[in-house]
Amino acid sequence: MGGYNKHNAAKILVDAAAMGDRKAARRHNVTDRTIKNYRDRLETDGELSVFFHELRDKVDRDWATARSRALRIAADRAAELLKTSKDLNAITTFIEKVGNLEVVTEALGVNGLQHHSAREHPPPDEGGKGDASDAGDDDAGDEGKG
C-alpha cells in the first residue's frame, strides 16, 4: 500500500464527516484509527487542512446545486399537475411532500457538510457501535508520519 497522501486523507475526512468514521473507513479500505490519525493531522498540517476545507466546500456547493435542481424540477412538476390534473388531492399531496423536503432540510441544517467539521464527533454508526473498537489498530495509512 502506498504512503500517506494528503489529497486522499482529505477525501476520507470529508466522507467521515458526512457518513461517520466506520462507513468512510469501509468505503476507503482504511481503519477507524487511520481516520482519527488524519483528523489529528488537520491541526498540524496546514496543507491537509486546506485540502479538507476546499473539498468540503466543493461537496457542499455540489449538494446545494443538486438540491436546488431537484426542488426546481418538483416545482415544475407541481405546476404541470395544476394545469393538467383534475385530482386536487394528488396535487396537494405532491406539493406537501416537496414542502416537507425543504422544511426537513432546513430544520436539520442539511446544507452538505458545513455543520460537520472533521473535528466534530462523526454521525453515529449503524448498530449503535462506536468506533473505539479499532482504537488500538496499527494501520498502513499512517506510513510516513512524523
Q: What is the pLDDT, as a whole number, of residue 121?
A: 40
DSSP 4-31: --HHHHHHHHHHHHHH-HHHHHHHHT--
> Cα–Cα distance between 123 and 106 in angstroms, integer?
18
Instruction: Summarize the confidence of residues 105-115 as an average pLDDT.
Output: 56
- Is 20 exposed, middle or buried, given 0-12, 13-18 or 19+ CB atoms closer than 10 A? buried
Give 24-59 pLDDT, tens digit per residue: 999 999 999 999 999 999 999 999 999 999 999 898
pLDDT at 15 over 50: yes
State the Cα–Cα distance between residues 120 and 127, nearest whole angstrom: 20
What pTM value is reported for the model?
0.55
Average pLDDT, rounded, for the chain: 75
Q: Are 142 and 4 in contact (CB under 8 A)?
A: yes
51's CB contacts (< 8 A; 6+ apart) are 6, 7, 9, 10
**pLDDT tens-digit series, residues 56-84:** 989 888 877 887 788 788 878 877 877 88
pLDDT for position 135: 37
- Dist CA 17 CA 56 (whole Å): 9
